[in-house]
Amino acid sequence: MKKIVLLLGLFIFSVGFSQSLPIDFEGDVTTSDFVDFDGGTATVTTNPSMSGINNSNTVAQIVRDGGAVYSGSKILLDDNLDFSVLTKITMKVYTTAPVGTVVKFKLEGTGTAVDVDAFTTVSGNWETLEWVFVGTANDLNEIVFMFDFGNLGDGTASSTFYFDDVEQVMGPTAPVPTSLPIDFESGIVDTDFLSYSGATTSVVTNPQMNGINNSNTVGQVIRDGGDFWASSKIFLTNNLDLSTMWVISTKIYTTAPVGTRIKLELEGPNGRTNLDFLTTVSDDWETASWNFDGKTGDYNKLSFFFDFGNIGDGTASSTFLFDDIQQVVGPAIPDPVATTLPINFEGSVVTSDFINEDGGIATIIPNPQIDANNPSATVGQFVRSGGAPWAKSKIALTDFIDNFSTVGSISMKVYTEAPVGTLLKFKIESNVAAFADERNAYTTVSGDWATYTWDFTNFDSPIYNVFTLMLGYATPNDASANATFLFDDIEQTVTLSNGDDLLSGIDGVFGYPNPAKNLFKITSKNKILERITLFDIRGYQVLDLIPNKLEASIDVSNFANGIYIAKIATPKGVGSIKLIVE
């Protein structure tokens, strides 16, 4: 929360000379016109790649190095932007960062800020990216550039971005706002939907007049290519009143498989919130509903993400009919109830006890991966579905955590199919004071349960009474298997350490020095090191040793710099150490 407040504060303060669109950096903007923030440094420089679609002599450059995941730079414009006719902003971008890097374009001013994401489709070449701002109010006059949003820059080539020819151009026709309920029988036309990144929305004659829906006309979304978050947005004439009717429902027909994810997002000038519905039938109409009980805000836009998490292929299973969008009376969601340690999800915690934020969705489910490592019948599930890189879920405790000086670690079992080396961030917070801290663990297995430990030894206590899970931190929020984490058995454990890195999962085994440049040594007090397997951050095996003794040395002098996971087997079990080579 501190980071968000700081970000907003920085965006309110502006210096530099004002400009107007289009901007081509051929003398209209200089380095001093940029306002940098939180690790972003912008300059006007010579075009490093005069080729393809951009043979300009001069371009802008942003280098991101440390700071914050939202670092960047901005420019003040002479006048507020008017999107009544020219509804889109385009910009040429060059970077060697990986394909799919997020480029966030944000508008600020006296009104409520608006931001839209684009994703790179090439690396090492110029391309034109675009951001649609249909429906944006005419009270914004600052443009903010945030490249590789959600990740920390490191000053390297992959954190360096060039851009040019920022201009406002013709885009989609501005939709005419409407109001709920919507039955598609009159007043709604194709252009009243704003579709994004592979979704095409139209109003059509109902091809499936049966079951619960015999309407003549319905909405249709066909997803073909684009991105996993392809969506269609409806603008409302007035803000939604969720005070008494907080459930929104719609009828849906698709031949997509049962369990297809339909996300509904509410958006307004002060933020957005979204919920997921999983289909329960195929080749038949059903009523989907989303319960927004407790959500407050001036929401005046609805966005539907059909089959969220997958890229459509234009076939029948990527085609969705929908109808009768309305607010209805629904059940209230129980307030979260605090719990106590240890937490094993066998009745002490229910789904409504989690507080989900920024795209994290935690639920209690039957254990789908029962085995010897975790025979529990019930577990927690955390899904990263849309939202921010720091998607999270919180659970409160009845009492403040005590005895961190002697029982200084928190351990938890986790199952995921995400690659080895995926970041599991665990945060402890106070809901009565501004205290918080976090620690990282990295997955050591994929497709299996493992116990991970976060060391909070000697932290101030008792002041912490909230656990925040950010599993898969800064990885795609596409609700896929790689973005899904099962978790169980959260408890305080004794931390044993002599200043070196303790093996996760087995006491008395240590690795040092860490970081290492030449040799990394692993020693055991009394357990034979039977096997040591080393993986890089992508999960590829790079070394396999069978020491069969109490110590082993690994020559890392020829290894590439970065993070490695050493998986170590002893007669007492298997554990791991995160190794940093520099």
How far apart CA 534 and CA 157 sit, in angstroms, is 28
Superfamily of domain 190-328: Galactose-binding lectin (2.60.120.430)
Please tell us whether the domain made up of 501-581 is placed in CATH 2.102.10.10.
no
* Three-state DSSP state, 347: coil
Q: One digit per residue, pLDDT tens: the chain, 582 residues?
A: 333 333 333 333 334 455 789 999 998 899 999 999 999 999 999 999 999 999 999 999 999 999 988 999 999 999 999 998 899 999 999 999 998 899 999 999 998 888 888 989 999 999 999 999 987 889 999 999 999 998 889 999 999 999 999 999 998 888 899 999 999 998 899 999 999 889 999 999 999 999 999 999 999 999 999 889 999 999 999 999 999 999 999 999 999 999 999 999 999 877 889 999 999 999 999 999 999 999 988 899 999 999 999 999 999 999 999 999 999 999 999 999 999 999 999 988 999 999 999 999 999 999 999 999 999 999 999 999 998 889 999 999 999 988 776 678 899 999 999 999 899 999 999 988 778 889 999 998 999 999 998 988 776 667 899 999 999 998 999 999 999 999 999 998 865 433 345 555 556 677 778 788 888 888 877 778 888 888 776 667 888 899 998 888 999 888 888 878 788 888 776 777 777 888
Among 93, 66, 67, 84, residue whose Cα is nearest residue 10: 67
Q: Strands 519-524 and 531-536: what pairing?
A: unpaired
Question: What pTM value is reported for the model?
Answer: 0.74
Per-residue CA distances from 182 to 230, 233, 300 (Å): 21, 13, 14
How far apart CA 362 and CA 283 sit, in angstroms, is 29
Among 372, 392, 376, residue whose Cα is nearest residue 384: 392
Joined together, the tokens standing for residue 339 give 């719990």
What is the DSSP annotation of 472-483?
A: TTTS--B-SGGG
* Three-state DSSP state, 407: coil
Joined together, the tokens standing for residue 452 give 């991970």
The end-to-end CA distance of the chain, in Å, is 32
Q: What is the per-residue pLDDT for 1?
A: 35
Length of the chain: 582
Tell me the Ramachandran region of residue 230: left when phi exceeds 0, alpha when psi lies from -120 to 50, beta otherwise. Answer: beta
Please tell me if the domain spanning 2-169 has the same topology as the one spanning 190-328.
Answer: yes
Cross-strand bridge partners of residue 453: 411
Q: What is the per-residue pLDDT for 579?
A: 79
* Residue 457: DSSP 8-state: T
Q: How far is CA 500 from the centre of its chain?
A: 33
How far apart CA 488 and CA 380 sit, in angstroms, is 6
CATH topology of domain 2-169: Jelly Rolls (2.60.120)
Q: What is the per-residue pLDDT for 281?
A: 98
Cβ contacts of 557-565, under 8 Å, gap ≥ 24: 557/517, 557/518, 557/519, 560/536, 562/536, 562/537, 563/421, 563/442, 563/536, 563/537, 564/534, 564/535, 564/536, 564/537, 565/420, 565/421, 565/442, 565/443, 565/444, 565/534, 565/535, 565/537
Q: How far is CA 507 from the centre of its chain?
A: 34
* Residue 530: DSSP 8-state: -
What is the DSSP annotation of 124-164?
A: SEEEEEEEE-TT--S-EEEEEEEETTTS-EESSGGGEEEEE
Contact yes or no for 409/454 (Cβ under 8 A)? yes
Residue 19: CB partners within 8 Å, gap ≥ 6?
28, 29, 33, 75, 76, 77, 78
Give the start-to-end residue ranges of the domains of the chain. Answer: 2-169, 190-328, 351-493, 501-581
Contact yes or no for 528/571 (Cβ under 8 A)? yes
What is the CATH code for 351-493?
2.60.120.260
Sign of the Cα torsion 538, 541, 545, 546 reads positive
How far apart CA 524 and CA 509 sit, in angstroms, is 4
Residue 208: CB partners within 8 Å, gap ≥ 6?
253, 285, 321
* Three-state DSSP state, 282: coil
* Residue 173: DSSP 8-state: P
